[in-house]
Amino acid sequence: MERKLKITMIVLMMAVLALPILNLTVLPIKQSKLAGVESSGSQALSLAGFFSGQLQAWVENRFQRASGILGYLVKTDNQLDYFLFKQISSNRRAKVILGNDDQLIERAYLPSANKSRPVKHQAIGEATAALAELQARLKTRNIELLVIVSPSKPNYYPQALPSWYRVAGAETRQGGGDYFLEELSRAGVNFIDAQRVLKAAEGSEFPYPMFSNTGTHWSQLGGCLAAAEITKRIGELLKRTVPKIECQVDGMRDLPVAQDADLLRLANLWFPHLLKRPAPRVSSKRVEAEGAFFPRITMIGSSFCWELLRHIDRNHVFRSRDFLYYFRRRFDGNKQDRRGVSIDQEKFDFEKELADQDLVLIEINFSAPQHVGFGFVQAANQKLQMLGK
């Protein structure tokens, strides 16, 4: 009996091992696509690629793409990990991890949340000094500068991190984001600490999560409240009556909106609905006084800006707005262009682009303050200095 069991197990294991080869030859299987999986580039096809390991990764990737079973195996592995071990993936490099209370968290934010890396004082100091310089240069053109610091999910909800992902003492350490906020205050740069704004709202008028358990960016409500604070601060800076955004919650919806489930798509599960939860039904409206001033703005930032723009564009609070996504692609609010246009940073005409603007708005995440402006700030200072302004 024992011998038969061993033989049976060996046959099953050999069948599993042979499945990819059979799939490529006589048993074609339709691929199950995986979210967040990128292909290796052709640069691997070189001697340098062989010694660096890129060639091997490229061959493996080609094999996986030719075989239809990879997606099924990954999703099955992830689903079993969730059911049996309360984690999303056994892959230690997976982009998504499972936190407490079924909170999905983007792995890239863990070092910032744990404050486990040395603070880049010099880089952050230089970035802040560049912001102060740009603010002064823009002021001579009657243009204001406003920086909004968006929170990351594990920074906003540190209790979501399981003990095995925590580095002890984080609550007593200063992180790069903390130092950045201090430097902004010290330099006199106009800024919004979005985490403070959202925490205040969550503790009073809006007792709802500001991050969906299945998303990595602020929720529909969090984005609305941040947009409302932006319009308020712009009015104060311009000393004009600017239209404001007002947010409200009209009951609950059974499922979160699509943008609040971006991490769930990356989790690659067979039963993603098990993690979805009811969410606030958010609406926003424009509130304006008679003779309101509609400013023109240029906005530079990351993917946290998309939810801001949904409320800003829906309520038409600005006469015009340009969004420079990572200062790499331009999205013109007047054209409603979903694909955007590539930006050539070397040829970007700051004189023309800023000619009739009232305000420059820069968004940067708490986890990466040294990258504020993504090159826009330094390039603008250099160009405006050359113009003598």
pLDDT in tens, 93-139: 899 999 999 999 999 999 999 999 999 999 999 999 999 999 999 99
Residues 131-141 have pLDDT tens digits of 999 999 999 99
Last residue of a domain, one of 49, 77, 105: 77
Claim to verify: residue 20 and residue 155 sit in the same structural domain? no
**Whether the predicted pLDDT of 43 surpasses 60:** no
Structural domain includes residue 107: no
For residue 68, pLDDT over 90 is answered with no
Among 12-26, 247-261, 295-309, which stretch is predicted with the lowest mean pLDDT?
12-26
Give the pairing of strands 296-301 and 279-287.
unpaired
Q: Is the CA virtual torsion 346, 347, 352, 358 positive or negative?
A: negative
- Virtual torsion, Cα 133, 135, 141, 143, nearest 10 deg: 160
pLDDT at 63 over 80: no
Residue 363 binned pLDDT confidence (cut-offs 50, 70, 90): very high
The reported pLDDT for the residue numbered 36 is 64
pLDDT the model gives residue 379: 97
Q: Would you place residue 243 in the very low, low, confident or very high pLDDT band (cuts 50, 70, 90)? A: very high
Give 301's pLDDT tier (boundaries 50, 70, 90).
Answer: very high
Strand 144-150 and strand 96-98: the pairing is unpaired
pTM: 0.86
User: In terms of DSSP bridges, do strands 144-150 and 191-193 run parallel, antiparallel, or are they unpaired?
Assistant: parallel
228 and 377 both lie in a single domain: yes
**Alpha-carbon gap, residue 219 to 236, rounded angstroms:** 26
Q: Give residue 360's domain range.
A: 119-261+273-386
CA distance 381 to 209: 39
132 and 56 together in one domain: no
**Tell me, what's the pLDDT at 345?**
94
Q: Is residue 14 part of a domain?
A: yes
Q: What is the pLDDT of residues 200-227, one digit of tens each?
A: 999 999 999 999 999 999 999 999 999 9
Same domain, 39 and 148: no
Residue 148 pairs in a beta bridge with 192, 363
**Quick one: 57 and 141 in the same domain?**
no
Say whether both 129 and 48 belong to one domain. no
> Quick one: 231 and 366 in the same domain?
yes
Residue that is last in its domain, among 77, 103, 128 = 77
Average pLDDT over residues 312-334: 94
The answer, yes or no, to whether residue 32 has pLDDT greater than 80, is no
Q: Identity (one letter) of the amino acid at 28?
A: P
Residue 138 lies in a domain: yes
Quick check: is 228 in a domain?
yes
> Count of domains in the chain?
2
Which DSSP category does 22 fall into? H
